Chains A and B, each alone.
Chain A
Amino acid sequence: MSAPAVLAGLLDFRRLDLLAAEDSALHRLDARAKLVVALAFVVCVTSFGRYAVAPLLPYFVFPIAVAAAARLPAARLSRQVALLLPFALLIALPNPLFDREVLLRVGGVGIAGGWISLVSILLRALLAAAAALTLVAVTGFPAICGALERLGMPRQLAVQLLFLYRYLAVLGEEALRMTTARELRGGGRPLSLRLYATLVGRLLLRTWDRAGRIHLAMCARGFVGDFRSGERSRFGRREIIYVAGWCGLFLLLRTQDPTHRLGAALLRLFQ
């Protein structure tokens, strides 16, 4: 974990907050509508069978459309989404080892089911991450927690989530300071496991202290355990249309398999 890497992660994290402060028709929608659509999206995408690849592709229309409508920086968000790929790969990697049954032949080369399910897992991870990131970028994390609470999540849990988000940034800042301090005096030597353990322990204690001070400052300004955001927006007609429109599309894509139909239609055209 080098200082520049920590810094980059931290800045990206904070820039997501900045995006949420912009203004667009999507930004102005009630957070609950956006949250419900994102959840429906993830449920739909994960509900496919394990060898599904082609039917997943049309779902990319959702994050792309959201990013376009809210004028989000697509390149940067794609990079952030791609950062999650190694984790998904870690989960999917054993599949080709255990599932060797050939399911597909392309030009005489047999492709085992394991490889197909690996691609399927990666696609789903990409889709889910893209949906989550665009959700945060057009809504803002505090508003999402507010929406969760208004949708019936216990307030304590929603506030915990918010603190998690807030302290993650604090942890990042502290980690950055420590890695910088170490690199300045470390003489380029690699970190021993023992030293690493000490650093992590120290990081926890420092974050703990700092979190305590932040909590004090919040209490000093009348914080009594619930975050009030300014806009108590309404779930109006726009929201209903947004939710119904996207959920309808997700269901359609789930039941009709348009890629398959498109492929079949193209085949017919060429034959």
Chain B
Amino acid sequence: MNPPVVEARGLTHVYDDGTVALQDVSFRIAAGESVAIIGANGAGKSTLLLHLNGHLTPTRGDVRIGQTPLTRQTLPSIRRSVGLVFQDPDDQLFMPTVYDDVAFGPRNQGLAEEEVGRRVQEALERVGVWSVRAKPPYRLSGGEKKRVAIAGVLAMAPDILVMDEPTSGLDPHARRQLIGLLADFGHTRIFTSHDLDMVLDLCPRTIVLFAGAVKADGPTRDIFADAALLAQCRLERPLALQACPRCGRTQD
């Protein structure tokens, strides 16, 4: 196994109101891995993601990105290598035009304007929405917004992509296209999702959170085969793995 690029050790987070959101969470993710973090609502997925690029500070335990522990001093460099795509693109897109929005990150990195232009074009072409660069983000469809939000993070050239519910709110076609797009990325990828079919397509490995703790961590197919575990964690087998309603056979 490659050396871990993302490592959490005994990560515990207690919110100000006393809610324990994460409890002694530990895992190691290697370079190039694609990992899903799944769990019921309130299991701690979002809290965990916010730890991965330093928006929250652990109550106990720590997070390391590559060889670097996450501290106040290392925050800028860690945010450069961990790209976080938010669930609701409307929270992320705020500049007057798509181009300016995607350029926001690279400009904050202090890059020269030619380099910014190159990155923006590359990122927008990568996700297939270069044609809407002059439009204001709020005029885009949900699928386009999602792509622009991803481009905004890609333009910063992160090593690790962290995405919160990438397929939420997309129509089936846009969802399928996005899954195809994400499958092609070479980054280390970490997704949270309730879209377990997407998880099956994109992530060979799955971490299951339950009440803030890691309940299971292993090959996605094994986890989805464990009916008792899924039921306990308020999850369901993905449709692709469920028996055919007509003939009763499963896919494999």
- A positions within 8 Å CB-CB of B: 14, 17-18, 20-21, 140, 142, 166, 173, 210, 213-214, 216-224, 228-232
Contact = CB atoms under 8 A, between A and B. Distances in A.
Contacts of B80: 222
B88 A213 contact: yes
Contact of A221 (B96, B134, B152): B152
Which 10 pairs between the two chains have the least Cβ-Cβ distance? A222-B108, A221-B105, A17-B96, A217-B92, A228-B107, A220-B84, A213-B91, A217-B86, A217-B91, A214-B91
Contact of B94 (A166, A216, A222): A166
Contact of B96 (A18, A173, A223, A231): A18
A142 B96 contact: yes
A14 B136 contact: yes
A47 B212 CA distance: 65
Nearest to B105: A221
14 contacts: A18-B136, A21-B136, A140-B96, A216-B55, A217-B84, A217-B92, A220-B53, A220-B79, A221-B156, A222-B80, A222-B156, A223-B104, A230-B103, A232-B113
Nearest to A141: B96
A219 B82 CA distance: 12
Interface string B154-177: 001000000000000000000000
Contacts of B136: 14, 17-18, 21
B108 A224 contact: yes
Contacts of A219: 55, 79
Interface in B104-152: 104-105, 107-110, 113, 116, 134, 136, 138, 152
Contacts of A20: 96
B79 A222 contact: yes
Contacts, number: 71
Interface in B76-102: 76, 79-80, 83-84, 86, 88, 90-92, 94-97, 100
A220 B55 contact: yes
B104 A221 contact: yes
Interface string B227-250: 000000000000000000000000
Contacts of B156: 221-222
A230 B107 contact: yes
Contact of A214 (B94, B103, B110): B94
B199 interface: no
B104 to A, nearest CB: 6
Contacts of A230: 100, 103, 107, 113, 116
B189 to A, nearest CB: 16
Best-surrounded residue of A20, A221, A229, A232 (most CB of chain B within 10 A): A221
Nearest to B80: A222
Given A17-B136, A222-B79, A222-B108, 7 more contacts: A18-B136, A21-B96, A210-B91, A214-B91, A220-B79, A221-B152, A222-B105
| Among B100, B110, B153: residue with most chain A CB under 10 A | B100
A222 B109 contact: yes
Contacts of A21: 96-97, 134, 136
Nearest to B110: A228
A47 B150 CA distance: 51
B50 interface: yes
Interface in B48-96: 50, 53, 55, 76, 79-80, 83-84, 86, 88, 90-92, 94-96
A257 B111 CA distance: 51
A18 B97 CA distance: 8
Given A219-B55, A223-B108, A224-B108, A14 B138 contact: yes
B96 A224 contact: no
A21 B134 CA distance: 8
B37 to A, nearest CB: 17
A209 to B, nearest CB: 10
B117 to A, nearest CB: 8
A126 B161 CA distance: 51
Contacts of A217: 84, 86, 91-92
Nearest to B87: A213
A270 B23 CA distance: 93
B97 to A, nearest CB: 5
A17 B110 CA distance: 24
Nearest to B116: A230
Contacts of A18: 96, 136
B99 to A, nearest CB: 9
A141 to B, nearest CB: 8
A140 B136 CA distance: 13
Nearest to B153: A221
A213 B156 CA distance: 20
B50 A216 contact: yes
Nearest to A231: B113
Nearest to A223: B108
A221 B100 CA distance: 13
